[in-house]
Amino acid sequence: MPGGQRKPKLAVWKFTSCDGCQLSLLDLEEHLLAIVGRVEIAYFLEASRATVRGPYDISLVEGSISTPHEAELIKEVRKQSRFLVAIGACATAGGIQALRNFADVRAFVDIVYAHPEYIRTLREARPIADYVTVDFELRGCPISRYQLLELISAYLHGRQPSIPTYSVCAECKRKGVVCVLVSQGVPCLGPVTQAGCNALCPTYRRGCYGCFGPMESPNPLSLGRRFETLGVPPADIIRLYRTFNAFAPAFREGSEHYEQTSSHAHD
């Protein structure tokens, strides 16, 4: 629990990832020194050589689980952590690495590597919650640093973080951004995607590509039918659902539906 004399100990863990979500912590430049005043950065290898032993009050976990070593390590991290937060699309949905889950990775490693025996990898890249209990998830590819700040701040005050689960459409409407799907016929995942980016892509006049994963009550097939009426071929609808949150159930449902229908078409 926060409070008391001792500053809560914060740890940052990296699994299979691009480092971008943990970088968000360092990107909180103007708040960084204030945060350091309130929490002890106990384990954050990207920033410090010095490490403090666990247990940790709050662990931020970045990345998917994609190797046998990681599958073991995450259990240890769980044991050492009072409050474990999965941060980013890799940690919450397997991220882009989960694209391998739709193919046979083992086979292509074996066939092609000069030395496949050097390579240790799991057949599927999975979110953290598939291995251990996760106390909270911050979505996004990358996460929003404002949501990260809200999370840390909420933790310090012993309250629930306020993170919206409605769609990007709500953000567009609030911001007064003209709908790119309706006005320009641009395929946009906004209706099925969770808010958090402040409607970034539509603001820049492109369609949302789903960085924050499925919103609370998505209907990916209905949106798919809307894309069909725009003339988007099934292969492109599959690509739309299959990027950085491809393995999140709703997006997976969307891509697999079109995979099945297009394979029937070839039968």
Partner 1 sequence: MSKRARTRTINVNYLARVEGEGALYIKARNGHIQELRLTIFEPPRFFEAFLRGRRYAEAPDITARICGICPVAYQMSAVHAMEAIFGVQVQGPLRELRRLLYCGEWIESHALHVLMLHAPDFLGYQSVIDMAQDHPEIVQKGLTLKRTGNDLVEFIGGREIHPINVRVGGFYSVPKRKDLQQFIGKLEQARDIAVELVRWVGTFTFPDFEQDYEFVALRHPDEYPLNEGRIVSNKGIDIAVHEYDTAFEEYQVPHSTALHSRVRGRDAYMVGPLARFNLNFDRLTPTAQEVVRELGFSLPYRNPFMSIIARAVELVYACEEALRIVRTYEEPDRPYVPYEVRAGTGHGCTEAPRGILYHRYTVDAEGIIQEARIVPPTAQNLHQMEQDLYHYAPQVLELPLEQATWLCEQAIRNYDPCISCSAHFLRLDIDKDE
Which residues of the chain form contacts with partner 1 (CB under 8 A)?
A: 14-24, 26-27, 29-30, 32-33, 36, 41, 45-50, 66-67, 69-70, 95-97, 99-100, 103, 105, 108-109, 111-115, 118-119, 121, 141-142, 197, 200-201, 203-206, 209, 211, 236, 239, 243-244
Q: Six-digit token pair at 101?
A: 């889950």
The nearest distance, CB 196 to partner 1, in angstroms, is 11
Question: Are 209 and 227 contacting, i.e. CB atoms less than 8 angstroms apart?
Answer: no
The nearest distance, CB 18 to partner 1, in angstroms, is 4
The nearest distance, CB 253 to partner 1, in angstroms, is 20
What does DSSP assign to residue 129?
G
| Closer residue to partner 1, CB minimum distance, 101 or 219 | 101
| Closer residue to partner 1, CB minimum distance, 35 or 129 | 35
Neighbours of 55 (CB within 10 A): 12
| Residue 205, amino acid | R
Q: Return d(Cα 204, Cα 211) in angstroms, integer.
A: 15
The nearest distance, CB 243 to partner 1, in angstroms, is 7
**φ, ψ (nearest 5 deg) of residue 196:** 140, -25
Residue 215's Cβ-count burial label (10 Å; 0-12, 13-18, 19+) is: buried
| Closer residue to partner 1, CB minimum distance, 44 or 155 | 44
| Closer residue to partner 1, CB minimum distance, 6 or 159 | 6
The nearest distance, CB 96 to partner 1, in angstroms, is 5
Q: Crossing angle for the helix pair 249-266 and 220-229, nearest 10 degrees?
A: 50
Question: Are 148 and 93 contacting, i.e. CB atoms less than 8 angstroms apart?
Answer: no
| Closer residue to partner 1, CB minimum distance, 49 or 266 | 49
Q: Biggest alpha carbon distance in the chain?
A: 69
Q: Return d(Cα 116, Cα 21) in angstroms, integer.
A: 30
| Closer residue to partner 1, CB minimum distance, 6 or 158 | 6
The nearest distance, CB 156 to partner 1, in angstroms, is 17
The nearest distance, CB 145 to partner 1, in angstroms, is 8
| Closer residue to partner 1, CB minimum distance, 103 or 160 | 103
Question: Are 215 and 195 contacting, i.e. CB atoms less than 8 angstroms apart?
Answer: yes
Question: Are 127 and 93 contacting, i.e. CB atoms less than 8 angstroms apart?
Answer: yes
Neighbours of 124 (CB within 10 A): 17
